[in-house]
Amino acid sequence: MIKDIQEEIIRLKKEKNFCILAHSYQSREIVEIADFVGDSYALSVKAAKAEYDNFLMCGVRFMAETVKILSPDKKVILSNSTAGCPMAEQLTPAELSAMKKKYPGYAVVAYINTTAELKTLCDVCVTSSSALNVVKKIENDNIIFIPDINLGRYVKKMLPEKNIVLFNGGCPRHAAVTAEEVSAAKAMHPSALFLVHPECTPDVTAMADYVGSTAGIMDYAKSSDVKEFIIGTENSIVTHLQFECPDKKFYPVSKNLICSDMKATTLSDVLDALKGEGGEEIILDKETIELARKSIDEMIRLG
């Protein structure tokens, strides 16, 4: 059954010239039919190249919006319209404008997990993989960093020369991981390295052998000589790594580290969207696209 749906998806995407983009938190059966799988940064760069007429995003809304901003003349469809990132909606444009008034002259750095509307008010975007590199290269040392307080704290710790003001937002899934869970996993798997996403809290990232984006975590585990890893990001990464490295062992740091938004998309959603019977086409007005694009282009230029 799964194979039948996958074959139909592969036939239709070729017929209709669709590029299927999948974030690495998607399930195995979606990753298998995607043309490109990656972290938020890699997906943005791929979208900027736009070799296809149409894009189908298997991920969350801000990712589909980013594709539309970078390829405004292409049709961009979000496979499941309910898939949003709760963090992306934690800060409103009015709240950000108030912060900008309070800290005049500060550069506004936005995690890419923000709405297109919010990006129009920012100077530069970052992803978890580009944040350190991009913030280091910003000329202005005074920075407002939104919305993820944990990624912001991590950047602040690594770049003490910058004066960074944070907003109190974050990922409810990563922020729920506790130091006690990490200690318990380490006690159970004493030879394993702990690889963690910077959206986790500082007490958790402080216990890590490696802190990085989803792609960074995967690359680290694949290229390491070590054979066992505790994974501190969405549990689909554990599954993908286990498929790709059958001679190694991967353990989730917490059984609760599941993003229900990332998991909302099913193979049937993908098929329906390709048939023109589902999904949601992303429509953004010209001004939003132009203003939001500046901050993403700046990230790609610096990153």
- Asked if 39 touches ligand 13P (CB under 6 A), the answer is yes
CB of 184 to ligand 13P, least distance (A): 22
User: Site map for ligand SF4, 224-243, x if CB under 6 A?
Assistant: ----------x---------
**Given the rule CB under 6 A, which of 49-57, 125-133, 144-152, 158-166 is the region that contacts ligand 13P?**
125-133
The rounded radius of gyration (Å) of the Cα atoms in the chain is 19
261 binds, among ligand SF4, ligand 13P, none (CB under 5 to 8 A by kind): ligand SF4
128 binds, among ligand SF4, ligand 13P, none (CB under 5 to 8 A by kind): ligand 13P
User: In sequence order, what are the beta bridge partners of 146?
Assistant: 110
Task: Answer positive or negative: Cα dihedral of 237, 245, 30, 22.
Answer: positive
What gap in Å lies between CA 154 and CA 131, rounded to an integer? 10
CB of 128 to ligand 13P, least distance (A): 4
Sole binder of ligand SF4 in the list 70, 231, 259, 282 (CB under 6 A): 259
Sole binder of ligand SF4 in the list 262, 271, 274, 296 (CB under 6 A): 262
- Asked if 213 touches ligand 13P (CB under 6 A), the answer is yes
Sites for ligand 13P among residues 86-115 (CB under 6 A): 113
What gap in Å lies between CA 44 and CA 68, rounded to an integer? 10
**Given the rule CB under 6 A, which of 157-165, 185-193, 242-250, 254-262 is the region that contacts ligand SF4?**
254-262
In this structure, are strands 210-211 and 228-232 parallel, antiparallel, or unpaired?
unpaired
Contact set with ligand SF4 (CB under 6 A)? 60, 85-87, 113, 171, 173-174, 199, 234, 259, 261-262
